[in-house]
Structure 1
Amino acid sequence: MPASFVHVHLVALRYFSETVRSGSMRQAAEHLSVAASAINRQIIKLEDQLQCRLFERRSEGVRLTAAGEVLYQYVQRLDQDLERAIAQIDDLRGLRRGHVRIACEAAIGRDFLPPILAAFHADHPGVTYSVEIKSALDTLDLVASDEIDIGMAMMPPIRSDVQIAARAEMPVGVIAQKGAALGDRASLRLHDLAGERFIRAKEGMVGGTTWQQQIDRSAPQSTVLETNSPDIMTVMVKAGLGIGVRNPVGILGDLEQQAMVFVPIVDALAPNPSLGIFVRPQRLLSSAGAVMLELLKDALPEFAERVWNLTGQPTPDGGISTGAA
């Protein structure tokens, strides 16, 4: 029977492996607290099944044959795989250790991620994290290259080597100083922005969405400043340089404290972006990573509702998807 079809037992492989490490069946028997004859029987059974000698028996001990070397390399890999499997099972029971690698845009890291990490850490203090602040496009690159476990960004262009684990539609609107002329409106259309002094979003700032291009076509403005940073846009708006257009994620504290105003843009030419949670397709996450992913997915609908409540607009029907990754 070909060796690939031979059924071998873990006990026999364990005896074989310990004999290699010990250098003799007698010493292996002492380490394993079994009879040397039991080890010899199991090794002979392996040799019969594989139809080759695994050891050269010598008076001073044993020495691996070429076939034995091949089998020992396999057993070492098997031991490592078993250790990883046992560690993951152990982690599932208690999550006493582990490390989760996350990348996200700064706004998401500010408003969405902290309470989830805090709750997770309270339950599993042995787990550690790394959080990289990246643009949407860079975040997807890190997910696709397996350099991080989970990515979060305002929906950049869809790509086949990255999977959307969950998404939630977010509003986009005008941010302005309190008391600004547009600030008392319930909602705005793009043409309402014509003639306004503008803090302009640089192309690609929001994951590659095209609303800035639509604003430029629909409402000629006077651009005061252009930036690729939502935070810079926000502080310049607060300073009175003009208005900006962005989503509320990253400035929820300012809006809840009424430090500035946000007026949603409701216009078919300016589709709302979505906050997406991304993983690599068919990637088997660690136990800690898998639990973290589920927590993020579970928290997304409530977070979306919080964001939409601040705008005075209802959460869009079908605007949230938290399917399995």
Structure 2
Amino acid sequence: MHAAVLRYFEAVAEEGSIRRASERLNISASAVNRQILKIEDYFGTPLFERRPDGMRLTEAGQLMLRHSRDTLHDFRRLHGEIDNLRSVVSGEVAIATLDSLTQHFLPDTLTRFIEAHPAVQIRVTAGDPNEILHSVARGNADLGLTFDPVWRGGIHELQNIPCPLHAIMRPDHELAGRASVTLDECSAWPLVYQDNTGSIRGFLGDSLDIFKRAHKPVLTSNTLALLKRLLLRGVGIAFYTRLGFVEELAEGRLVAVPLEGERLSQLRLCLLAPSERSPTVAARVMAEHLGRDMGGLAGVSGLDGR
């Protein structure tokens, strides 16, 4: 079956909507729908349930999706291996990542990668830790970047570096000059919190309840960009690694004070790959590139615990 048709099917399955799939593929919804109908006609069975809330895979559709992903992956790997014979790295790489890494690390490292390998197509998707793990385990992403994964089924860890938690605040904050602070000391101020950082929440655990007991406001959002602007306005304190604040810290607009507690200094950033299949040439080269640049992060801006 033609690779383009499989991509249409895969997009509808992942998006749960013909309209969203068409936007992702940059083709008309009617063209996508025609291809889906052709596939269903070919197999003589529905591959999707048409529901008011979108398209849901039937049992036959789930089999088709597994075949589609395997076929497209093998095709990309073959394409990359053929190009590799010509000393040209090409193909596609899908990366699932934490939002904080899109602020500084990924823009820098991907710029260097694109300069070295302009024939590689890269797709980056930001999500929460659970989404990243599932995306890698299912083969939707070739590589994943997240903090200490608890669930590791279908996942292979390629590299990790220490990323201790800090209290992030403005330089004129009362605690800004401290060598370290405790969560209890921070509870005297409002908490600014990203509600989709599952790994960090797991590390902090019930400790966040001290802010509720202190009757301090807790402002949550799923976007780091908003919370960063609130911190710059002096709204409160946030608990993060330094990864999402490299420029603000370097410019002195924010400061990062280490949090006391052995567990809070043990958080690690991990580079993950699917364990059930071989990587494409492009994915392997990207993994090596990210691994090298992650190694460089360990000694930058206190990521090694300093």
TM-score, normalization: structure 2? Answer: 0.68
Q: Relative to structure 1, is the Cα distance of residues 242 and 212 closer, same or farther in structure 2, using a 3 angstrom cutoff?
A: farther
Matched to 1:150, the amino acid is: L
Matched to 2:242, the amino acid is: P
List runs of 5+ in structure 1 lacking aligned partners: 1-80, 315-325
Conserved? CA contact 1:168–1:276, under 8 Å = yes
Name the CA distance, whole Å, in 1 between partners of 2:136 and 2:211. Answer: 36
**CA displacement at 1:146 relative to structure 2:** 0.7
Matched to 2:192, the amino acid is: I
Structure 1 segment 5-44 matched on structure 2, within 5 A: none
Partner of 2:250 in structure 1?
256
Identity over the aligned pairs, expressed in percent?
A: 23
Match of 1:292 among 286, 289, 292: 286
Partner of 2:9 in structure 1?
none
Partner of 1:115 in structure 2?
108
Q: Relative to structure 1, is the Cα distance of residues 263 and 97 closer, same or farther in structure 2, using a 3 angstrom cutoff?
A: same
Name the CA distance, whole Å, in 2 between partners of 1:82 and 1:242. Answer: 50
Partner of 1:100 in structure 2?
93
Partner of 2:224 in structure 1?
230
Match of 1:151 among 140, 144, 149: 144
Conserved? CA contact 2:162–2:267, under 8 Å = yes
Match of 1:273 among 255, 264, 267: 267
Q: Relative to structure 1, is the Cα distance of residues 203 and 280 closer, same or farther in structure 2, using a 3 angstrom cutoff?
A: closer
Give the 3-state SS of the residue equivalent to 1:101 in structure 2.
Answer: strand
Give the 3-state SS of the residue equivalent to 1:289 in structure 2.
Answer: helix
Partner of 1:29 in structure 2?
none
Partner of 1:128 in structure 2?
121
**CA displacement at 1:262 relative to structure 2:** 1.1
Name the CA distance, whole Å, in 1 between partners of 2:204 and 2:275. Answer: 29
Partner of 1:186 in structure 2?
179
Conserved? CA contact 2:181–2:258, under 8 Å = yes
Name the CA distance, whole Å, in 1 between partners of 2:196 and 2:99. Answer: 17
Structure 2 residue 296 is the aligned partner of structure 1 residue 302: yes
Partner of 1:210 in structure 2?
203
Give the 3-state SS of the residue equivalent to 1:168 in structure 2.
Answer: strand
How many residues end up aligned between the 2 structures? Answer: 232
Q: Relative to structure 1, is the Cα distance of residues 178 and 188 closer, same or farther in structure 2, using a 3 angstrom cutoff?
A: same
Q: Relative to structure 1, is the Cα distance of residues 224 and 207 closer, same or farther in structure 2, using a 3 angstrom cutoff?
A: closer
Q: Relative to structure 1, is the Cα distance of residues 167 and 84 closer, same or farther in structure 2, using a 3 angstrom cutoff?
A: closer
Name the CA distance, whole Å, in 1 between partners of 2:99 and 2:177. Answer: 29
Q: Relative to structure 1, is the Cα distance of residues 164 and 269 closer, same or farther in structure 2, using a 3 angstrom cutoff?
A: closer
Matched to 1:239, the amino acid is: R
Give the 3-state SS of the residue equivalent to 1:94 in structure 2.
Answer: coil
**CA displacement at 1:290 relative to structure 2:** 0.5
Match of 1:245 among 239, 242, 245: 239
Name the CA distance, whole Å, in 2 between partners of 1:206 and 1:118. Answer: 28
Structure 2 residue 179 is the aligned partner of structure 1 residue 196: no
Conserved? CA contact 1:91–1:288, under 8 Å = no
Name the CA distance, whole Å, in 1 between partners of 2:285 and 2:131. Answer: 24
Q: Name the stretch that deviates more: 118-127 or 221-230.
A: 221-230
Conserved? CA contact 1:139–1:153, under 8 Å = yes
